[in-house]
Amino acid sequence: KKKARESCSLPGSSWEERLANAVTPLWRLPYQEQLQVKYESQRKILQTLASRLEELGIDAQKPGGLCCPLQPVVPSPIINGYRNKSTFSVNRGPDGNPKTVGLYVGTGRERNIVCVKADHVENIPSKHKQVAQCYEEFICRSPLDSCILFHEGGHWRELVVRTTSCGHTMAIITFHPQELGQEALATQKALLKEFFTCGPGAVCALTSLYFQESTMTRCSHEQSPYQLLHGAPHIFEKLLGLKFRISPDAFFQVNTAGAEVLYQAVGELCQATGDTVLLDICCGTGTIGLSLAQRVSKVIGVEVVEKAIEDAEWNAAFNGISNCEFHTGKAEAVLPQLLASWEDARPLVAVVNPSRAGLHYRVVRAIRNCPSIRRLLYISCKPEGEAMRNFLELCCPPDPRKKLAGEPFAPVLAIPFDMFPHTVHCELVLLFTR
């Protein structure tokens, strides 16, 4: 990341190069070299974890100073244009146009943010770039200003584009209402719909066009409902022979082809048998649990986003899967109740796939204190962040003060998956057992 920021400011580099260096810092490297860079970064993370465990009095040093064996990075089946979701900002471009739709170069702290069109960025598919270009054309025609800083007024804000391998495209436009009344808002929505259905934007062939009024940086459907202006309420994706319904704010792995490889490996690492119960924590639209449902006796999914759970339940019913149950709510509220009264004799395997914020401590504690869970798969897109705290909480000795009574876990295998070619990130699957 540091190198990416340094290369962003290299004299003589074009704005396009600066953006590519910021968003996809490995784009100049041949793909095999990218994988090696990622392998080394994951190796350092496992070395750090081993050292942290040693500090807790746990003998965790394995060959190479790692806490467990590290397999080579599993490559992505698709290297360019793999993203099925892109978020575009609206801000001043290099030419001073305040209605530029693109991605940021610079930082808010240094007050040097410039919004650069993403036409050349290699991980974004052409369809997303097309929708972004059309949105820019629309807001440039609009008499309403873009909303760069909330307190300075303006209305047009970010654009999210989601696509699927089924050929579906969803666009979600965020709008700051400021002081506009309902009639004025209705006019803007009508103009937007007309542009994307009958005007120049019709070339995008949108499956769904959504509009969200928001006075916050980000807000959920519950805080400010997504309003469907045109088309179908959902788009659909195929994954491992199953069909999945996707709502505007539902989590879905950003690299569909990579997700298939990841979920197949997760299925093997679970070592599930016909009597296994699979606990899918932070389950999103149910992709992991549903893709493994035929291997296990039961799947229990937990997810905070209500619309995602609605999708998960629809996905289960549509695919004829009847051995899944889904719970809506924060994992730290749902899981302790679920596991505190757990008396099922069947083996219980947990898969957790949290956001970068990691798992709440109460979730880790509930897992630790449930003796039926002997095997845990932790999927993390940022293992060096808050997930590291979770790893230590899972593996530390019992601590009555923290109400950690359960036997500790131990890391036994790590497999990185390159879900994000051209970037420094990858998805790490860490297998814990006890």
Amino acid at 65: G
- Cα 67 to chain centroid distance, Å, stands at 26
DSSP 270-324: HT--TTPEEEEET-TTTHHHHHHGGGSSEEEEEES-HHHHHHHHHHHHHTT--SE
For 28-110, strand residue ranges (E) read 85-91, 100-105
Spatial contact of 176 and 150, defined as CB atoms under 8 Å apart: yes
Q: How many CB atoms lie within 10 A of CB 87?
A: 15
User: What gap in Å lies between CA 330 and CA 304, rounded to an integer?
Assistant: 5
- Amino acid, single-letter form, for residue 204: C
Q: How far apart are CA 23 and CA 189, in angstroms?
A: 31
Q: Which of 147, 381, 395, 396 is catalytic?
A: 381
Q: Is 324 a catalytic residue?
A: no
- Contact predicate 81/126, CB 8 Å: yes
- The structure tokens listed for 102 are 């693109």
Q: What's the number of CA atoms in the CB half-sphere (13 Å) around residue 389?
A: 13
Q: How far apart are CA 334 and CA 61, in angstroms?
A: 35
Q: Which is nearest to 83 in space by CA: 116, 127, 119?
A: 127
Task: For residue 123, say whether it is annotated as part of any ligand binding site.
Answer: no
CA dist 363 and 268 (Å) reads 24
Residue 340 β-bridge partners: none
Distance CA 151, CA 347 (A): 55
Element (H, E) at 335: helix 331-340
Task: Identify the helix (H) or strand (E) that includes residue 191.
Answer: helix 182-197
Q: Annotation-wise, does 253 bind a ligand?
A: yes
Q: Which residues pair with 200 in a beta bridge?
A: none
Q: Which residues are annotated as a binding site for S-adenosyl-L-methionine?
A: 253, 303, 353
Active site residues: 381
Known binding-site residues equal 253, 303, 353
